[in-house]
Amino acid sequence: MSRSVLLLIGGGIAAYKSLLLARELKKRGVSVTGVLTRGGAEFITPLSVAGLTGNQCFTDLFDLKDEAEMGHIELSRAADLVVAAPATANLLGKAANGLADDLASTVLMATDKRVLFAPAMNVRMWEHPATRRNVSRLREDGALFVGPDEGEMACGEYGPGRMAEPEAIADAVEDALSGDGALSGRHVLVTAGPTHEPLDPVRYVANRSSGKQGYAIARACRALGARVTLVSGPVSLPSPRGVEVVRVETARDMLAACEAALPADVFVACAAVADYRPAVETTHKVKKERGGLTAIDLTENPDILAIIAQHETQRPQLVIGFAAETDDVIGHAEAKRARKQCDWIVANDVSPGTGIMGGDRNAVTIINGNGEEAWEDMPKSDVSSRLARKIAEALPPRP
Ligand code: C5P
């Protein structure tokens, strides 16, 4: 299958890295056509872009020759993905506000394809409220982002704003090309991992959970173009690319992080939240010599899934819970769905010997109130892709 990107190169010092990006993409079998903004052409030349991509480099909206070769509408739609790298503050501002005063910004207005931005700018510009607004508006419109990285910048300052490295952008391009955008413009909130409920500064009460299933779901929804917020308890997994990860310890922190992330279109509660926490948390380590640890008084934690599923003003359109059971899996799961008032429950049997807990495979049954759908045993990543696809199909069309 041929894969092609239209690479918009903005006017930043990071433009030189876009040449490396073009080479990296070509190496991975992705065909690249370059568009250089006027600013971009101050840093690199159309000749080097054409030389490295092997395709004509377009520069001017009103150039008869460019338009004759390929009109800007056709150009904006011929590729499978539009990538803006470096995406300057100016380019983001124009894209967020629908301005089209040169070829690159006109392409962004005219395209019917997904757009991946690799921002690059001075840290103060990146942190400016206008840029924050523009980025969140573009995300709401379904745009994808990679980076920026944090580090020393060409201007001598330190902080976020440095363009992501060419390999990371190429990875994000491949992710975007592999999904079809069925969830683009949607916000999916996922919880994953256990929660730790402290007893004292060194001890805690927790459930078993590797976080693998929740992380895989976050990744799969992202691959379909969703904006994903992953609220994660303590796990030793790397943050999925392009996903906003909020790390928490306790159930109460997890609830607060979920509420702060609303509104969301979809809530997937995959975390193994501790149902109880120690009623008293001491600030000093309880000494065993004093016989202080023979019993723990517990108090109930908030039920995050039930609270979000019954949220008065910001209930996501689709709320999905998980049920890890060891007996009467379907019966318990259906009762849980009704009690918590979520739309679907993904039930699985975690009896010892199934290898599901901490493993890489899962056999789940989806229960939705009208019946159940048992999926065969498969890798957690496949469960996630199939679930993400099912979520996309269940959501009403966007206005
Ligand atoms: O009631 P139980 O813990 O078995 O419910 C499991 C489901 O509820 C999972 O989706 C889990 O993420 C969610 N849950 C929650 N908050 C809790 C307990 C469970 O969100 N305090």
- Give pLDDT tens digits for 288-322: 766 667 788 999 999 999 999 999 999 999 999 99
70 within 8 A of 78, measured Cβ to Cβ: yes
- 124: number of CA atoms within 13 Å, CB side? 3
Ligand 1 centre to CA of 117 (Å) is 36
Confirm or reject: Cβ of 303 under 6 Å from ligand 1: yes
For 90-111, write each residue's pLDDT tens digit: 999 999 999 999 999 999 999 9
The single residue listed with the structure tokens 């949220």 is 311
Q: Which of 301, 303, 334 to mutate to test the pocket of ligand 1 (most atoms within 8 A of CB)?
A: 303
57, 155, 258, 270: the catalytic one is 155
DSSP 181: -
For 153-165, write each residue's pLDDT tens digit: 777 888 889 999 9
357 within 8 A of 210, measured Cβ to Cβ: yes
190 within 8 A of 218, measured Cβ to Cβ: yes
Would you say the CATH fold of 187-394 matches that of 3-178? yes
Confirm or reject: Cβ of 336 under 6 Å from ligand 1: yes
CATH architecture type of domain 187-394: 3-Layer(aba) Sandwich (3.40)
* 185 — pLDDT class (breaks 50, 70, 90): confident
The single residue listed with the structure tokens 């990744």 is 219
Q: Which of 217, 299, 305, 307 to mutate to test the pocket of ligand 1 (most atoms within 8 A of CB)?
A: 305
Confirm or reject: Cβ of 325 under 6 Å from ligand 1: no
* pTM of the predicted protein model: 0.69
Over range 191-217, report the average pLDDT.
Answer: 94
Closest to 341 measured CA to CA, from 302, 309, 307:
309
Q: Is pLDDT of 89 > 90? A: yes
CATH class for the region spanning 3-178: alpha beta
Residue extents of the structural domains in the chain: 3-178, 187-394
Q: What 3 state SS string does 260-297 have?
A: HHCCCCEEEECCECCCEEECCCCCCCCCHHHCCCCCCC
342 in active site: no
Chain CA centroid to CA 269, Å:
16
21 within 8 A of 169, measured Cβ to Cβ: yes
